[in-house]
Structures are given as C-alpha cells and as structure tokens.
Amino acid sequence: MSSNPAEIENDDIGSRIDAILADLRDEYQQPHATPWIIGFSGGKDSTLLAQLVFEMLLGLPPRARTRTVHVVANDTLVESPVLARHLDEMLKRLEDSVGQLRLPVVVSRTTPDVDQTFWVNLIGRGYPSPSRLFRWCTDRMKIVPTTKYIREQVDAAGEAVLLLGVRAAESGMRAVSVHRYRNKGSRLNPHNSLKNCMVYKPIVDLTTDEVWQVLLQSRPPWGGTHRQLVTIYRNAAGGECPLVTDRDEAPSCGTQSSRFGCWTCTVVEKDRSAEAFVDAGYGDLEPLLAMRDWLKEIREDNSRRSARRRNGTLNFVGEGRLIPGPFTLQARKEILDRLLKTQEEVGFELISAAEIELIRRLWQDDAVAGKTE
C-alpha cells in the first residue's frame, strides 16, 4: 500500500487530504522563518497531523525545507503505562527518522518541574486528589510545561505557529471552541494566552472515520505501521487526553467520555478506559486502577483531611458547611507507603527518588509550621 495518504483509493477522502497537504505546503512556504510546533499526544489525531506534515515536507526539495518543525509531547509522569510506552516508541521513531529523511524536525518532550509533579503536590503538600471542583493537575502538569517550551521558541524566533490536531467533530464542546476562534478567511488564529503564538488546525474538518481511514490505509513516513495505535484504541474503548496549552481546553481531561491519559485521574467517577485495558489483558494496570480508586475514596474521608487550608483559613460554603483542606501528614505518609508498595507490585517506577526527597522536605517544613493536622 502506498505511503502517500493522497493515493488512498477513496477519491473523496483522497481529495480532502490533498487539499490539507496543499494548505500545509502553502503556509509552510510563506516568506518568513517562523517555526512550527506540533502538539503531539501520540493519539490518532496528532499522529495523523504529524504524518501529513512529514509528507508535506518530503514533497518539497531539501533546499525548500527552511522552517524548523518542533514535535512536542507532554509527559505528566503519571501517564497510563500503555500510552506511555507507545509514546516513547513513537518519539524514538520520529527522532530516528528525521536525519535519514533530511527533515528540519526537532522532537521534544515536556514534563512538570519536580516541584509541581502529581505526587509532590498530593503527597508532599497534601492537595486532595483532583476533582471537577478542584482540578489542580492540568495547569501544573500539562499547561505550564508545554507553554514554557512554546514561549522559549517564541522568544528565540519572535513568533511561532502551534499546529493542533483538534477536530470540530470530536465533541460538541470542541466544535464550539473551534468555530469561536476561527477567523474568517484565515487559517491562523491568535492563541488565547500565548503572545505572538498563532494556532493552526489543519485537520479540523475531518471526521473520526476519515482520520482512521487515512491511518489504516497508509504507512507513516517514519516507518512501521499504525497497528499498535489501532490496538490501543480498541483495547481502551476510548480516546486520548490531548496535549493542552490553554485553560479553556482543560475539560478535555477528566470528562465523562472514556479517555486514556493519567492513570491517577480521579476527576472521573470511574476509569473505564483503564478497566477496559485490564479486561484486554493488561494485568499490570490492575494495581494502578486499585490505587486510583483508593485515592478517590479517601478524598471524601474527612478524617484524613485537615480542617484548615494550607494558608491557615477555614473554607465554608452554603449554610456553614466546612470544606476540608489538604490531606493530613499522617494520610500523606499512608499514601506514600501504599504507592511504594504498588510500585513494587507493578515492577516499574511510579515515583522518582527526587520526588520522594522533596516530599520529605515539605513534610519537615509543614511540621515546623504546624501544618500536620
């Protein structure tokens, strides 16, 4: 089967992919050196976007490939192990291929600073496991690390174009967001919060069926096939949590739909994606699912929560109902103990030595300040 999506047998989708490739080519050949940044999650949409950009670049003579393209993925450090392994393999394939293909592509991965990881905030500072009312994780673990990377590129070049694999057909909420920020007659739109960063959504009008049709009937230019990606979606019974660079997009994580992302996500009532993976034979996820369910359960246990918030205030709502504050120091120690036992059970790292060191330092600070109960 041809490696060129434009040669897919279906004439209608073939012509639509041709039009997207032509649009990509036209934008890339604009008379300036503004870099592109592809937001890459390893899911179907960002994979198709990366494939189309690679195909477009390969269609140009090497001397015309003058603008740098960054492929940037975000790793929260608590990703679902299945997706984490897939993303690792994908990034390695991309990185290994760009030299051989003579493409001006830089492959990067962003992670939260150790001071802002999931475990440092939850176990070190006692933040309750995330909920719809207190979704503290997305900003610290996704938005901040990725926007930092984008700002670095903007500072270096003066501006940047962020390419996102979002589609209007993905959800009603996404369709509203897409059309809200789409300028008439313009393919580029200013980013909501990143100055001098324009947003480009090349596959916005493709349907989910069309995305899969292209992926299933073509081979990626970096080698291999999309078979593993198809298997992940089939086993997960859902979709990926995409790369997020804006608070308006934060609901893409922890929605009612079945999405695979952080294995620690307690925003959803049940992690149906992880349950589907376990049912599909991924036994190493079962202890993680149990740990996740326990984190959600103890969030509602006021005996494990301090009455006061970390700033010393009491928080009341309604008719004087007290909203409990962070986990007590005793509860945090209990969580760390269980996490380390779970880590030993699954046989791979769930929390780093650097995180544990910082957590113990935060405990000492809280003990001195009297923030233990």
Tens digits of per-residue pLDDT, 73-86? Answer: 999 999 999 999 99
Residues 6+ apart with CB under 8 A from 129: 122, 264, 266, 295, 296, 298, 299
Residue 1 confidence (pLDDT): 39
Q: Is residue 41 pLDDT above 80, yes or no?
A: yes
What is the residue-wise DSSP string for 195-251? TTEEEE-TTTT--HHHHHHHHHTS--TTSS-SHHHHHHHHHHTSEE-----SGGGGG
In the chain, what percentage of residues exceed pLDDT 90?
69
Alpha helices in the chain (DSSP H): 11-28, 44-58, 81-101, 118-119, 137-138, 144-157, 172-180, 208-216, 227-236, 272-279, 286-299, 329-346, 353-369
Residue 247 confidence (pLDDT): 60
Structural domains for the chain: 5-114+142-226 (3.40.50.620)
Give the whole-angstrom CA distance, residue 370 versus residue 373.
Answer: 8
Q: Is residue 181 pLDDT above 50, yes or no?
A: no
- Closest C-alpha among 115, 85, 78, 77 to residue 295: 78
CA 174 to centroid of chain Cα atoms: 16
Q: Is residue 245 pLDDT above 90, yes or no?
A: no
Confidence band of 5 (pLDDT split at 50, 70, 90): very low
Residue 177 confidence (pLDDT): 47
- Closest C-alpha among 254, 225, 250 to residue 238: 254
In angstroms and rounded to an integer, the radius of gyration of the C-alpha atoms of the chain is 22
Confidence band of 174 (pLDDT split at 50, 70, 90): very low
Q: Is residue 65 pLDDT above 70, yes or no?
A: yes
Q: Is residue 72 pLDDT above 90, yes or no?
A: yes
Q: Is residue 203 pLDDT above 90, yes or no?
A: yes
Residue 185 confidence (pLDDT): 58
- What mean pLDDT, rounded, does the chain reach? 87
Mean pLDDT check: name the lowest of 31-40, 119-128, 167-176, 304-313: 167-176
Mean pLDDT check: name the lowest of 172-181, 219-228, 337-346: 172-181
Confidence band of 57 (pLDDT split at 50, 70, 90): very high
Mean pLDDT check: name the lowest of 132-146, 170-184, 240-254, 356-370: 170-184
Residue 258 confidence (pLDDT): 44
- The tens digit of pLDDT for each residue in 307-344 reads 888 777 777 776 767 778 899 999 999 999 999 999 99
Residues 6+ apart with CB under 8 A from 354: 114
Q: Which two tokens stand for residue 28?
A: 């890339």
Q: Is residue 288 pLDDT above 70, yes or no?
A: yes
Mean pLDDT check: name the lowest of 140-149, 176-185, 244-253: 176-185
Residue 339 confidence (pLDDT): 98
Q: Is residue 87 pLDDT above 50, yes or no?
A: yes
